[in-house]
Structure 1
């Protein structure tokens, strides 16, 4: 089975809430319902850390042994609960299949409706994510079953999950319409080996909390899959990339390297801006493949806006400046903030952040910013423009990543 493994560092947000119960006093451990630990797989970091972790697990095993009923003392082959292993290694390993409702990769980080939810759960636990990509749903679920992953992110059928005797939680928590209305698969789910494992139980509480259900619906709106569903849009997008992209691909790739971007992200921006037309001119005077204003072009060192190489370089440099303007935003959400700022200016985005903060909402969550743009677009046309600008680029990029590459 061919497998591609990605290593992703999630944001540090939530790390202060990390539940390091393995280090807590024995009284806390005696009150847990974890199974008897018989062995601990080695963790290859440093000799010192490996010894320390083994010692911690040995301590947990000794105390758990004393707390078990006498008849349990003969059962010495119990597996380490997935939650224990995740917290010990500080890593949540996910088996997943790339798709429009699960995840896609760009800019060195994973994005997507399903993955963003997993990332939020990992933040809640205070752990990193190790994403393992598989070619199909059954392969991902079998990886979970065999212990190669702690949980699986799939759109697999109930029949397949039952066949493998896996428990699962639909991320919509029964609100399937919030997904289907946005063109997402109604049965995106997280699967686990055991229902009674704390990893599964905590995931259920995380997803089905009333506030979290609302957040999930906001996220689904941003990851709307309907933009390129009609035949005309699909054909135009594909035709443009086939006919125009070869003329500029080397420029996109070089300028992406110059400013530390994913080159296909710049392509998606170029299609949104001009449909990859180097001679495009708007009624407001912006010009070129990346449709730079005259003032922005000068600030970015662009002397000829209709020169494709210069235009792409100017756009790439400006996008990097926007990323730096939002360096306090978790890296996986930062690209969306940067794109919104590219369209409407960084100060406008920061004003929205301040309003969200005043309302007691997380001002570094793109889902919250996107919802604010959507709910207030009737009173400010720039909000509607920025909302569609970022959504369109996300959709073009996702199409490139999941269907055409």
Structure 2
């Protein structure tokens, strides 16, 4: 009897549950009955995660040392956390990422502003705060408050989140206007300010700090509104398991302190390419270079370079710090990657002797691989630029120089072409794509300055040594003893 009652109750329960489910689907069509782990299971089954992103210095790009960028570092770690491979689609502007995630993607990671009401999208917990910043062309005076923006040609990126702060500002200043672009990136906005196509732009503070050295005529203004949270996007309607996994990963990263360390690595310092002033350089010249001068001279004898040039390159790379580490894990006095160290037979990148020897031989290998048509100082400067940005991106810049009717064998012309690798109009026509092309230009310029200073100090020492080695003969004439040759 009990069994019959149970079966009857089960049958009625099944009927009512089914009826309730149908009613809920009719009344509330947005409720999903998808198993919570369906999306995550699909990713594990196929063994890779597809991420829609964009190429920018704050997100993802291909550097000489391989893929890099703050969000790339997070994506890579998240893929490892899930135990799957990482498949990137970096063909997007910021406004095309969310549609791609809705239609076919697993994750959107492209400096996205957290927008909880976006249809078809769930956002993760916040990753970092992004502060909108007004930047403007140097020479426009009196840009101190929002009222000063009225009448200016202002640009910003659509779907980046900055337009929301501008709209809030517009409520108090109705005459305020701006243009939004879905085709440009931050570097291109700043380039338009530099060439006077725009008066100002609203970007994020960390983006300005990473790009400011490339655009010396773009001035920092003031903050626009409150910070905006950056988050990742996942498609809704496919279960919450993947979203929960992403949130656990980000929570663990925050709790371990690793997220703060990554933020500090990528955004805490914006002066890697800053030319170090004479006072600081001379201090390092006196306190650090003597420890490594013999190693630079030894490497110079092996490779045929001037030891002072190798020392200048080493200073630009690490300030002669054998324990230096970059955000991407490049380390040592000459900042060698693991693949480069392996290529030149270096086992311990933190050993100054190995690092200097390996860096000098790597520079020589680049120098020798350049086309024979590049000669003299042009060849040397292009080799140094390749040490920074990679040989592939240098060849892309030479191609751009040729397309512009310039001489691809001239450093002066290639130097003009390299920054264009930051603009989609140009890097889309190249083999290796986006690069922070302004960086090698500043890099080479700095090394040349450091070389000139070391050369000047060395020459002064020679002259001083000569005076110290003089004697006066019976006729009152100065006699110079032979000067020991430099090793």
TM tier, shorter chain? Answer: 0.3 to 0.5
TM-score calculated relative to the size of structure 2: 0.35
TM-score calculated relative to the size of structure 1: 0.42
